[in-house]
Amino acid sequence: MEKKNYEQSKKLDNVCYDIRGPVMDEAMRMEARGANILKLNIGNPAPFGFYAPDEVILDMIYNLRNCEGYSDSRGLFSARKAIMQYCQLKGIPNVGINDIFTGNGVSELITLTMQGLLDDGDEILIPEPFYPNYNTMVRTCGASITPIPTCPEEGYHYAEREKIEPLINEHTRAIMVTNPGNPTGVVLTDDEMKMLVDLAKKHDLFLIGDEAYREFVYGGEPLQSFGSFVEEAPENIVVIDTVSKRFSACGARIGCLITKNKELLGHALKYCQSRLSVATLDQVASAHLYTVGPEYFAAVRDEYKKRRDTLVRKLREIPGVIFDCPKGAFYLMAALPVDNADTFQRWLLEEFNDNGETVMFAPGAPMYATPGKGLNEVRMAYVLEAEKIERAMDILKKAIEVYNAK
């Protein structure tokens, strides 16, 4: 019987989350054969000494029996109330419980926001390089990313009115930024945030702030949120937040959407009702996580800074690497002195090791919308222990020398 070919949707053509794609599959096969891979490719803190507070884990255990049913599609009341109180403590004004929805992590919340905002042919401005899943989220809406250009030589800074405003046209629906930045570690100043708010108001755009890494800034700057501007631009501001990175609980897929825009919340509710509810147990945990005191963050922040400083120091020992010291999050973006970072990564896995060890990073090209950009760039997550970061950079330095000598 002749096999029938089924026409596939083209919305996911050229979409691949390379951080979990074929290269990761090859790494897992190598580990199964006994290879030791020092992984700088993904920001998953829990395996490397970062843990959620013990009292929260105990609270989850005590509440297991109470978590067997669905919650409200908008989110568990106790979780949304805890988020509201967190906003009050952080100086985010006039956020009520009905302005908050919980979701299955930042990824789902950005997806439902995109579904509520974007139609075929619409455009959204995002600084590149960006979190690669943004590409998937936008493309599945039939829309496209208009990239705000940056470069490693300028530390990936993008928040300049003269750089952004000419990109706005009749198809532009929103500006979306990650602050602090993934993958670059760039942290916006208060004036830069105000400029973006002003642009959103002037051109009647949504301004979406992905603030998954808000607590992780290393220069003593006050914690900032686009939610601080909600009174100034209540119809424009959308804040996306999560417990995953902040509390080293990436497996607890809980995030929140905060906005005063009732029309957007109405669209989001349709999506939320179609997936019934978010995991109740995870929401119980998140309600308690949002009450954790500042001493927890101070200790975690200090440890991330130590690991960042180790990575920066060791990278500066490698000739030809271009990067800027990241001010926040736990990622560093760099241009390596190689022809193609993806080819180099595959070579590292398949052909190179140093005493049985090799290193893995996230190639930069999938984090760009502009074809041909980022080919020799990589993102490194400094969640590994400091001594492992030192070892990884020693391996990388040696590997670059061998690779370029071929």
Q: In the chain, where does the domain assigned CATH 3.90.1150.10 lie?
A: 18-50+295-404
Q: 122 phi and psi, to 5 degrees?
A: -75, 160
The H or E element spanning position 177 is strand 172-178
Categorise residue 334: left if φ over 0, alpha if ψ from -120 to 50, beta otherwise: beta
For domain 18-50+295-404, is the CATH number 3.30.420.610? no
In this structure, the number of other CB atoms found within 10 A of the CB of residue 355 comes to 7
What pLDDT does residue 180 have? 94
Q: Which of 251, 253, 287 is nearest to 63 (CA)?
A: 287
What pLDDT does residue 52 have? 66
Q: Which of 329, 335, 334 is nearest to 307 (CA)?
A: 329
Query: Cα separation of 191 and 314, whole Å?
Result: 33
Q: Global pTM?
A: 0.91
From residue 393, alpha-carbon distances to 77, 142, 406 in Å are: 46, 41, 20
What pLDDT does residue 50 have? 67
Residue type at position 288? H
Query: Cα separation of 262 and 266, whole Å?
Result: 6
Please work out, in degrees rounded to the nearest 5, the angle formed at the alpha carbon of residue 298 by the alpha carbons of 219 and 385: 85
Sign of CA dihedral 225, 226, 232, 238: negative
Which residues, including other chains, have CB under 8 Å from residue 241's CB and lie 6 or more apart?
Answer: 83, 106, 211, 212, 214, 255, 256, 258
In this structure, the number of other CB atoms found within 10 A of the CB of residue 144 comes to 17
Fold of 54-294: Aspartate Aminotransferase; domain 2 (3.40.640)
Are 93 and 114 in contact, with CB atoms under 8 Å apart? no
Residue spans of alpha helices (H) in 41-189: 54-62, 77-89, 105-117, 133-139, 161-164
What pLDDT does residue 84 have? 93
Residue 50, CB half-sphere, CA atoms under 13 Å: how many? 29
What pLDDT does residue 293 have? 79
Residues of the chain with pLDDT under 50: none
What pLDDT does residue 140 have? 87
What pLDDT does residue 205 have? 97
Q: In the chain, where does the domain assigned CATH 3.40.640.10 lie?
A: 54-294
The DSSP symbol for 14 reads T
Q: Which residue has the tokens 């988020």?
A: 83
